[in-house]
Amino acid sequence: MTTAAIIVAAGRGERAGGSTPKQWRMLHGRKVADWTIERFRNRVDHIVLVLSPDDAEAWAAFASSGLILAPGGADRASSVRSGLHALARHDITKVLIHDVARPCVSDRIIRDVLTALDTHSAAAPGLAVTDALWTGAGAVVTGTQARGGLYAAQTPQGFCYDMIAAAHAAHPGGAADDVEVARAAGIDVAIIPGDADNIKITRPEDFDRAERIMGTDMDVRLGNGYDVHRFGDGDHVILCGVKIPHTRGLQGHSDADVGMHAVTDAIYGALAQGDIGQHFPPSDPQWKGAASRIFLRHAVELAEQMGYRISNVDCTLVCEHPKIGPYAEAMRAEMAHIMGLRTDQVSVKATTSERLGFTGRSEGIASLATACLVKP
């Protein structure tokens, strides 16, 4: 069984205001589309992102993202058909179709829709209408509408891939959503409970509501790391990935990058996944002299696999010598590059121990680090 999600992001979203399409506007520190994509990572086997053919910047931004990119059409239905076509060679059994403007979709809804497809040809989340419904002309109520049996439709809407692909191919167009397309083809659609927080950003005020939802719905993890390496023979040290000339070198099984080791352990700690020694035992000769970037990349990739993104890291080096200041910016840049972060998400600073202890006696270097991880 192979699963996929199609995220439709080719529209302009003009009702949301602003000069930029809503999917590319910032929300809680990231673009709306980035939040939405993150919701489906590690929950399906493939993600298709449908983009406007004219949005060159978006195509370039996602070119190496690991997503399948597909060109959007003149309307939503043609964009979905394009996304379905992009999956044709991947032997998909279940497909979820989701609006990019719903970045607050929960793990529960994604899981429930996929599970419902084990026993149904189609399934979609819906909220039973509980408010009184009016008809109106302008600002005047002209009548009421019975609300019994009415549901507010949400996405992702899930389908057996072959059935919805055939339904879209046969549909004349003009459907409100993919459930309408499926029903026109005679496919029964199961309703699963929706979520009031699974809002679709449509109007300018919806950004504020989404911000509030995200502020209460994130799993934030903090981790601490600490490492020490003693001085020995050598003519340089490697700190946070940068080679610094020095009269002595740091001793260790790997390259003894005390700063990178502390940051790596901070990430492992935030994930409750042990430390470097558990993942890369010093008793294993293959890690002798290894570059510490290997350890750090492993920690970053593990965080991604567990659904977390790194918000920021802070590393403090404790030593009398060498002087860290002249190299701090290069260290930040190198660490950011390895972790896939911006440099303003990485802090590297130094302090002395006022000539106290082993660092004060210049016997070695210590490092402390903190990492903040967020699961949206």
Angle between helices 32-40 and 107-116 (to 10 degrees): 50
- The residues facing 239 across adjacent strands are 242
- The residues facing 140 across adjacent strands are 137
Q: Point out the domain boundary residue: 217, 245, 279.
A: 217
Q: Point out the domain boundary residue: 217, 252, 277.
A: 217
Beta strand 46-51 pairing with 3-9: parallel
Is residue 167 domain-shared with residue 276, that is, in the same domain?
no
By residue range, what is the domain housing residue 196?
3-217
Average pLDDT of span 329-355: 94
Q: Point out the domain boundary residue: 164, 185, 217.
A: 217
Is residue 185 domain-shared with residue 275, that is, in the same domain?
no
Could you give the CA distance from residue 322 to residue 187 in angstroms, rounded to a whole number? 70
Could you give the CA distance from residue 312 to residue 347 in angstroms, rounded to a whole number? 8
Is residue 232 domain-shared with residue 205, that is, in the same domain?
no
Name, in order, each residue with C-beta under 8 angstroms of 140's C-beta and a sequence gap of 6 or more: none
Predicted local distance difference test score (pLDDT) of residue 41: 87
pLDDT over threshold 80, residue 96? yes
Domain count, the chain: 2
Is residue 202 domain-shared with residue 226, that is, in the same domain?
no
Q: What is the pLDDT of residues 156-214, one digit of tens each?
A: 999 999 999 999 999 998 899 999 999 999 999 999 999 999 999 999 999 999 988 88
Output the domain CATH number for residue 287: 3.30.1330.50
pLDDT over threshold 80, residue 218? no
Q: For residue 180, give both structure tokens.
A: 């309408």
Predicted local distance difference test score (pLDDT) of residue 214: 84
Predicted local distance difference test score (pLDDT) of residue 359: 92
Average pLDDT of span 56-73: 94
Predicted local distance difference test score (pLDDT) of residue 307: 85
Is residue 120 domain-shared with residue 133, that is, in the same domain?
yes
Predicted local distance difference test score (pLDDT) of residue 217: 62
Please tell me whether residue 196 adopts helix, strand or coil conformation.
coil
Residue 155 Cα to chain centre, angstroms? 19
pLDDT over threshold 70, residue 376? no
Is residue 179 domain-shared with residue 237, that is, in the same domain?
no
Q: What is the pLDDT of residues 19-45, one digit of tens each?
A: 789 999 999 888 999 999 999 988 999
> H or E element: which one contains 253?
none
Nearest to 193 by CA among 160, 151, 234: 151
Predicted local distance difference test score (pLDDT) of residue 16: 57
Is residue 347 domain-shared with residue 267, that is, in the same domain?
yes
Predicted local distance difference test score (pLDDT) of residue 216: 67
Q: What is the pLDDT of residues 138-161, one digit of tens each?
A: 889 999 999 999 999 999 999 999
Please tell me whether residue 190 adopts helix, strand or coil conformation.
strand
Decide: 204 and 211 in contact? Cβ < 8 Å.
Answer: no
pLDDT over threshold 60, residue 372? yes
Q: What is the pLDDT of residues 236-268, one digit of tens each?
A: 999 999 999 999 999 988 899 999 999 999 999
Q: For residue 321, give both structure tokens.
A: 């010598």
Q: What is the pLDDT of residues 290-327, one digit of tens each?
A: 999 999 999 999 999 998 989 999 999 999 999 999 99
Predicted local distance difference test score (pLDDT) of residue 215: 74
Is residue 234 domain-shared with residue 212, that is, in the same domain?
no
pTM of the model: 0.62
Which band of pLDDT confidence, cut at 50, 70 and 90, is reported for residue 328?
very high
Nearest to 94 by CA among 159, 44, 155: 159
Is residue 190 domain-shared with residue 317, that is, in the same domain?
no
Is residue 77 domain-shared with residue 166, that is, in the same domain?
yes
Mean pLDDT value across the chain: 93
Q: For residue 98, give both structure tokens.
A: 């989701």
Strands (DSSP E) found in the chain: 3-9, 26-27, 30-31, 46-51, 68-71, 94-99, 122-128, 133-137, 140-145, 151-153, 157-160, 190-193, 219-232, 236-239, 242-245, 249-250, 309-318, 346-351, 364-375
For residues 317-341, one letter each, b for 16 or more C-beta atoms within 10 angstroms of the residue's C-beta and e for the rest, the string is bbbeebebeebbebbbbbbbebbeb
Output the domain CATH number for residue 45: 3.90.550.10
Could you give the CA distance from residue 72 to residue 10 in angstroms, rounded to a whole number? 5
Predicted local distance difference test score (pLDDT) of residue 289: 84
pLDDT over threshold 80, residue 84? yes
Is residue 12 domain-shared with residue 127, that is, in the same domain?
yes
Q: What string of DSSP letters covers 65-133?
A: SSPEEEE--SSHHHHHHHHHHHTGGG--SEEEEEETT-TT--HHHHHHHHHHTTT-SEEEEEEE--S-E
Is residue 12 domain-shared with residue 29, that is, in the same domain?
yes
pLDDT over threshold 90, residue 334? yes
User: What's phi and psi for 225, nearest 5 deg?
Assistant: -135, 145
Question: Is residue 286 exposed (0-12), middle (13-18) or buried (19+ Cβ within 10 Å)?
Answer: exposed
Which band of pLDDT confidence, cut at 50, 70 and 90, is reported for residue 17?
low
